[in-house]
Structure formats: C-alpha cells, structure tokens
Amino acid sequence: MSAVVPPAIAAGARAPVQAGAPPLVVAHVAKSFDADGRVVPVIGDLSLTLNEGEIVAIVGPSGCGKTTLLNTLCGLIAPDAGRVSWFGREMSGQPAGVGYMLQKDLLLPWRTALRNAMLGLEIRGVPLSEAEERAHVMLDQLGLHGFADHYPTTLSGGMRQRVALARTLVNEPDVLLLDEPFAALDFQTKLLIESDTAKLVRESQRSVLLITHDIEEAVSIADRVIVLSKRPTRVKAMYDIALGTERTDMIAARESAGFVDYVRRIWADLDVTRQ
C-alpha cells in the first residue's frame, strides 16, 4: 500500500486462519506521535474484537484517533504497545485478506471504471480475461451496469465511490476496513450504497470494521457499535444492535423500534463535555 497504489486494492491471498480464532483481536494497543519534540498520545489502552461475519461500527469525537487506529490495524503504522492479531496470528507487516477503503475514492483518472476496479487483480497477476470478467460482475452488482468504459471525471460522486467499493470487493477480502467511505455522499446516495454494501458483505459472510462520524449510519448498518473517548482514545461504551429487521435495508433499519433510542444513547456517550 502506498500513496500511488490505493490502499483499497491491498487484499491479496486469503489469510491463514487459526481454527476458532476471530478475524481481528486488538489487545491493549497504544500509539503516540512526536510533535515538535512533544509526545502526543493518540490511542490509549484500547482493546476490541471483530468476529467472523460481523459488522462493527466505531464512532468517536472528532480527532480522537479513529483513522490512526485503522492505520495501526492494517500495518501502515506500528503500535507503541499492545498486540494486533489477525485470524489468530500476531500481525507482522500488512495482513493478508484485508481490504482498506478510504473516504476519498482515489480512482486513477486515466483508467476507466472497469480498469480501476480490476487494478488490484492486475497487480496480483490474475489473467486479464478473468480480471475483466470479475470486475464487470462486481460493477454490475453495485449498480454500474453500462458504466464500465466511463472515466472517473464523467461519473458522479456516488458512482465513483461504487467503483472504489468494487475495486475493494473484487479482491475478495476476508475483512473490510472502511474509513468513512460514505461521508461525502448525499443522503439518498449514502443510503443506497450502504444497503448495497451491507447486502454484499452479509451474503458473503465477510467481516467489516467501519469508522464513521454518522451515528445513524452506525446503528442502521452495524451489529455492534463501539464508542471511543476523546484522546488518548479508549473504548468508552459498546452496544449490541438488535433492530429486529432485515439489516440490508437502511430505511427499514431507521424505522425500526429502538433505533432512535440507540442513537440518543450513543449521542450522549459522545458528549465530550462529559468525558
């Protein structure tokens, strides 16, 4: 993963799995940065688990270190303390079978939607005909039928984000790390892409760790919501979300009994004046 090659394409070969181990275990991780000779603690003593087939959303105050946490979990930066284990094995370098998608789509402007979607497959050496077929199928599944030959400048923001999602999913990652991927979208487009994403990952039993500042998004899409404190960030609260409805329909989720109560309780937890 680098500034040139989008992190979203990073999922490579299937990850080695230790029987019975959850995809991700974070144990007592801490991270600080040096700012002009001053140590700035960002992540405190933080522990969490992501189970197989589970969607977990993480919310927290602005600037609390959510993106730093994801960068630590996928091996882009090293923790100062603690342990990150993927599929029962302590992380060494960047983990296999993990796709990382950012808020910015990072599409390459000189490549069509299809060529952007198949970039990771090309890098992995997948035969061109197979890569094209798989990318076409994924674009169609995400509502982009007929747009494979369009360049990013001709696509709307929602379409571009769908291409970025296709580029991530076509590599068949075991786990998705999503850093506010829907934040810049209008409300209608956001709901549609959230629903498409939830449907695809739940059908394939993938695990997802989603960073979001949108509490309603977190409650509607996730099985569990983790609330972080301000810096140095720790887990402040955790909610198992039970809405009693199909979890691939974001409108139905928002209309479910209990939805508003979850949102209010999490909002109260995020009140930094109480922390």
Cα separation, 261 vs 239, whole angstroms: 11
Indicate whether 84 pLDDT > 80.
yes
Structural tokens at position 213: 């500042």
Asked if the structure places residue 183 within a domain, the reply is yes
Q: Is the pTM higher than 0.85?
A: yes
Asked if the structure places residue 11 within a domain, the reply is yes
Asked if the structure places residue 125 within a domain, the reply is yes
Q: How far is CA 58 from CA 52, 125, 142, 180, in A?
A: 17, 34, 24, 10
Indicate whether 22 pLDDT > 60.
yes
Check if the beta carbon of residue 30 is closer than 8 Å to that of residue 221: no
Position 103 confidence tier, pLDDT thresholds 50, 70, 90: confident
Indicate whether 15 pLDDT > 60.
no
Indicate whether 251 pLDDT > 50.
yes
Cα separation, 229 vs 23, whole angstroms: 24
213: domain range? 7-20+50-78+93-274
Q: How far is CA 175 from CA 17, 31, 168, 208, in A?
A: 12, 23, 10, 6
15 vs 67, higher pLDDT: 67
Asked if the structure places residue 159 within a domain, the reply is yes
pLDDT tens digits along 51-80: 999 999 999 998 899 999 999 998 899 999
Position 273 confidence tier, pLDDT thresholds 50, 70, 90: very low
SS3 of the chain: helix, strand, coil, percent, to 5: 35, 25, 45
- Check which CATH number belongs to the domain holding 190 and give it: 3.40.50.300
Total structural domains within the chain = 1
pLDDT tens digits along 36-45: 888 999 999 9
Asked if the structure places residue 32 within a domain, the reply is no
Question: Any alpha helices (H) in 93-186, and if so which ranges?
Answer: 113-117, 119-123, 128-141, 157-169
Structural tokens at position 223: 């099985």
Asked if the structure places residue 2 within a domain, the reply is no
Cα separation, 90 vs 85, whole angstroms: 4
What is the rounded radius of gyration, in angstroms, for the C-alpha atoms of the chain?
18
Asked if the structure places residue 37 within a domain, the reply is no
Q: Is 205 exposed, middle or buried (0-12, 13-18, 19+ CB in 10 A)?
A: exposed
Cα separation, 38 vs 116, whole angstroms: 41
Asked if the structure places residue 196 within a domain, the reply is yes
DSSP-derived secondary structure letter, 94: S
Q: How many CB atoms lie within 10 A of CB 9?
A: 27
